[in-house]
Chains A and B, each alone.
Chain A
């Protein structure tokens, strides 16, 4: 479970100038729930993900992952979380198998469990053809699959997925959506950051709309449409944000 309480993150941009990327934000994502973090570019989605993944230190407020404070108990949080970042961060001279083995070791997994998990993920994500090839010339889709497998290697209870179907072809995207549904069935806590409304609507139980670092609305897609008195999620999104200059991908 992820619980965010009055979380604020400020960045110093010049000597006396600060920008607030996340501003006094609170929400909860329960186990067995898939929640979409929606917002236009620059809304603070990636900063939120990074705060929850302990990559950044909160300026004020805090967040809890399975009741562990992201600031004071970062190591416990890291054991319980898996993040798929926007940039894959792959070592181009390593094969997917080497990546997965290495990260399994970082998470203190037993050798046999690592090997079994690699076989499982290779099969689930359809990586059999390239699991022993260096990542150097991988396509976007292949890289995305490796990054996703690495996120899942230690079977984390909580998952933060930034644009999980980004760059994937139709079949692979479908595979990932199926995987997310499976994670929900396994009662895992899944948070997806996306700006693709169609995907959010299809995948998520609940949506959190974020703009200028603040939560502006949250609820099921149906609740958001009712709240904005609009028939489609796209119209509801634009109405709630109160402007029509945002990028919307259906």
Chain B
């Protein structure tokens, strides 16, 4: 099956790739850039929320409360203010996201058991606002429980314990680090974006530069040409996959719990869809720009409807139905499960079957449309 003609096309593609620094950079450097961008910048972890404090009490008790907020690791006390206007200005300018107001009689009220503090939150950014709100409540509850326990101890009584305690266990990602969620997703994104773009443009470029005419008039068969053109991008895609897994594992600490063979197998199935889309785009587009736009029309909705950024469960029902038609949706479930949970094939079999069906259908459709002719 693998004859010298295919080998010759594969070699030609690699030579072209290695002699074209721009394409090589796109293929090798961009995955790493995206990995770092998405691993660090596109994080949903809300930490280091800037806080303004108006401590009107300035007592040991109020300082204890501030220490409790500091210890929570979510807030950074950046500003101490002396009036409502001051913290309002800070929130308006975005210098502070929350403001904590401790009343003048706070220490006395704590002893009487009816102390109240005010937490003002900037709700314009919903994700920061909701995290700050829930964290502030938790800090408050925990601090109140601690004070009750101390008071009980002073009065010689046994410490009060809450009637119900919820003990939590977070599996697979104990620190709820969003890089764990993002980095497997980056593999899916790279396999989809880079592969479709490179495949589509590699074929359309031949048409644009008139080199396809010479390939047509050789005895190379259509399937040999397709295989020869696609194989280098399959190899490149696997190099990129391992590049991301290695950097993700050693830099971001993302675990690799599943079988590497299964990762390669399922990535191969997903690649069939991406390569097929690239090939299909090359049969539609006449120029490289058209090819890029065509694959972007596929890639962008894929990204948003696959659960890469936003959970599918949070989407409207109609969009959830649409997402079933997107191969990336299944691959993200598979790669996250393989890397983070270390599952076997049985746990992801329905997704694997879906990937295989998509791969075969898209690749067959593309191969049938691809003709070694100019008309």
Binding site for B on A (CB under 8 A): 11, 50, 53-57, 75, 78-79, 81-83, 85, 87-91, 93-94, 98, 102-103, 105-108, 134, 150
Closest 8 CB pairs of A and B: A89-B210, A87-B210, A105-B8, A106-B218, A93-B19, A89-B211, A55-B374, A78-B219
Residues of the A chain whose Cβ atoms lie less than 8 Å from the Cβ of B221: 75
Of all chain B residues, the one with the shortest Cβ separation from A92 is B209
Could you say which of A53, A91, A93 contacts B217, with CB atoms under 8 Å apart? Answer: A53
Q: Which residues of A contact B217 (CB under 8 A)?
A: 53-55, 78, 81-83
22 contacts between A and B (CB under 8 A): A50-B374, A53-B216, A55-B213, A55-B217, A82-B217, A83-B217, A85-B210, A85-B213, A87-B210, A89-B214, A91-B16, A91-B211, A93-B19, A94-B12, A94-B15, A94-B16, A106-B5, A106-B8, A106-B215, A106-B218, A106-B219, A134-B19
B112 at the interface (CB under 8 A from A): no
B20 contacts across to A, CB distance below 8 A: 93
Q: In the complex, what's the smallest C-beta–C-beta distance from B229 to chain A, in angstroms?
A: 13
Q: In the complex, are the beta carbons of A78 and B15 less than 8 A apart?
A: no
- CA–CA, A105 and B6, complex, Å: 9
**A118 to B214 Cα, complex, angstroms:** 18
Whether the Cβ atoms of B5 and A108 lie closer than 8 Å is yes
Of the candidates B5, B210, B375, the one whose C-beta lies within 8 Å of that of A11 is B375
B373 at interface (Cβ–Cβ under 8 A)? yes
Name 17 extra pairs, CB < 8 A, besides A57-B375, A75-B221, A106-B5.
A50-B213, A54-B373, A55-B213, A55-B217, A55-B374, A85-B210, A87-B213, A89-B210, A93-B20, A94-B16, A102-B12, A103-B218, A105-B7, A107-B219, A108-B5, A108-B219, A150-B214
Contacts of A102 in B (CB 8 A): 8, 11-12
- The interface residues of chain B lying within 8 Å CB-to-CB of A106 are 5, 8, 215, 218-220
* Chain B stretch 188-238: residues in CB contact (< 8 A) with chain A: 209-221
Across the interface, B214 reaches (CB within 8 A) one of A50, A54, A103, A108, namely: A103
Count of chain B residues near A, Cβ 8 A: 26
Closest to A85 in B: B213
Question: Does B134 have its Cβ within 8 Å of any Cβ on chain A?
Answer: no
Closest B residue to A93 by beta carbon equals: B19
Please give the distance in Å from A140's CB to the nearest CB on chain B. Answer: 14
Cβ-closest chain B residue relative to A106: B218
Does the CB pair B216–A55 fall under 8 Å? yes
B4 interfacial contact with A, CB 8 Å: yes
Write out the residue numbers on chain B whose beta carbons fall within 8 Å of the beta carbon of A82.
217
Complex Cα gap A98–B16 (Å)? 12
Closest-CB distance, A21 to chain B (whole angstroms): 11
Q: Contacts of A103 on B, CB cut-off 8 Å?
A: 214, 218
Assess whether B218 is in contact with A78, with CB atoms less than 8 Å apart.
Answer: yes
Cα distance A78–B221 when bound, in Å? Answer: 11
Contacts of A89 in B (CB 8 A): 209-214
Q: In the complex the two chains form, is B211's CB within 8 Å of A90's CB? A: yes
| Residue among A53, A57, A102 facing the most chain B CB atoms (10 A cut-off) | A102
Residue of B5, B373, B374 near A105 (CB, 8 A) is B5
Contacts of A50 in B (CB 8 A): 213, 374
Q: Are B5 and A55 in contact (CB under 8 A)?
A: no
Q: Which residues of B contact A90 (CB under 8 A)?
A: 211
State how many angstroms separate the Cβ of A129 from the closest Cβ of chain B.
21
Point out the residues of chain A lying under 8 angstroms from B15, CB to CB: 93-94, 98
Q: B261 → chain A, closest Cβ, in Å?
A: 34
Task: Tell me which residues across on chain A come within 8 A of B214, comparing CB atoms.
Answer: 85, 89, 103, 150
Contacts of A108 in B (CB 8 A): 4-5, 219
Taken together as a complex, chains A and B put the C-alpha atoms of A89 and B210 apart, in Å, by 5
By a CB distance below 8 angstroms, the chain B residues around A56 are 373-375
Q: Which residues of A contact B210 (CB under 8 A)?
A: 85, 87-89
- CB contacts (< 8 Å) of A107 on chain B: these are 218-219
A102, B4: Cα distance in complex, Å: 10
Write out, one digit per residue, whether chain B residues 329-363 have a CB within 8 A of any chain A CB (1) or not (0).
Answer: 00000000000000000000000000000000000
Within B157-216, which residues are at the interface with A (CB < 8 Å)? 209-216
Give the residues in chain B near A88, CB-CB below 8 Å: 210
A6 to chain B, nearest CB (A): 19
A143 to chain B, nearest CB (A): 11
Q: CA A229 – CA B266 in complex, angstroms?
A: 76
Q: How far is the CB of B84 from chain A (nearest CB, A)?
A: 68
Question: Binary interface profile of B, 6-33, with partner A (CB < 8 Å = 1, else 0)?
Answer: 0110011001100110000000000000
